[in-house]
Amino acid sequence: MVQGKGAKNAYLSRLKTPEEVFKILIDSYRLRVVLDHSHRQEDHGIYYDPAKPFPEGLVWVKGDANADFQRYLDLVEESSVLPEWWRFENRMECLAEAVDDKNEDSILRTIDQEQLVTKYEGNMAIRNVLLIIAELVVGYDGKGRAKDDKWYQDFQEHLDLHPAERARLIEGTIEAVKNAGILPGQEG
């Protein structure tokens, strides 16, 4: 475990405050948990059910959402998405914010995908940004991040052969943008 190290020129370096980084990390985790539950039948975090079988090989923790999110933070710190200033103290602040059940953005609550564009001040790409960050951290299939780009090439070939799957993957983003009322030609 890297524990509290960021990387130069990491994706999240462009954010101005630690709070913005915390928000992105927490929401990327929350979105991944919801999508794993709804599209993959992989229940972890708030959806974990000890009575259900847990798929082998996944990076997630069998148990409570707090342990699951801490595992996510471990993987975040290994993935080079964090800004260079990231330290152990930032991890603890992020964790405290994530597990605060009074916080509407807590990992103990589901994420409202339809409100993402509004929450992020009209950023129409935010859902994809959150998904990409989560994928950089845990990999597409939740078994760890890719060591090379072979998975990406295979994935692109798969999507080229299965346009319905491509449409399904971007459907949530299109819905979020529509619901925010900011598509060209729409009143909003």
Could you report the per-residue pLDDT of 32-91, keeping only the tens digit for each?
999 999 988 889 999 999 898 888 888 988 888 999 999 999 999 988 789 988 999 999
What does residue 145 show for φ and ψ, rounded to 5 degrees? -70, 155
Q: From the centroid of its chain, how far is CA 37?
A: 13
Q: Give me the residue spans of the domains in the chain.
A: 11-146
CA distance 34 to 38: 6
pLDDT at 113 over 80: yes
CA distance 145 to 153: 15
Tokens 């299939």: give the residue. Answer: 141
pLDDT range class, residue 152, cuts 50, 70, 90: low
The helix/strand/coil state of 40 is helix
Q: With residue 88 as reference, give the H or E element that holds it.
A: helix 88-99
Q: Which position has the higher pLDDT, 151 or 44?
A: 44
* CA nearest to 74, candidates 56, 61, 84: 61
Tell me how crowded residue 95 is: count the other CB atoms within 10 A of its CB.
Answer: 18
C-alpha angle 18-23-24 in degrees, rounded to nearest 5 = 100
Tokens 């975040």: give the residue. Answer: 76
pLDDT at 1 over 60: no
Q: Which position has the higher pLDDT, 117 or 177?
A: 117
pLDDT at 5 over 60: no
Maximum alpha-carbon separation in the chain: 49
CA distance 144 to 59: 6
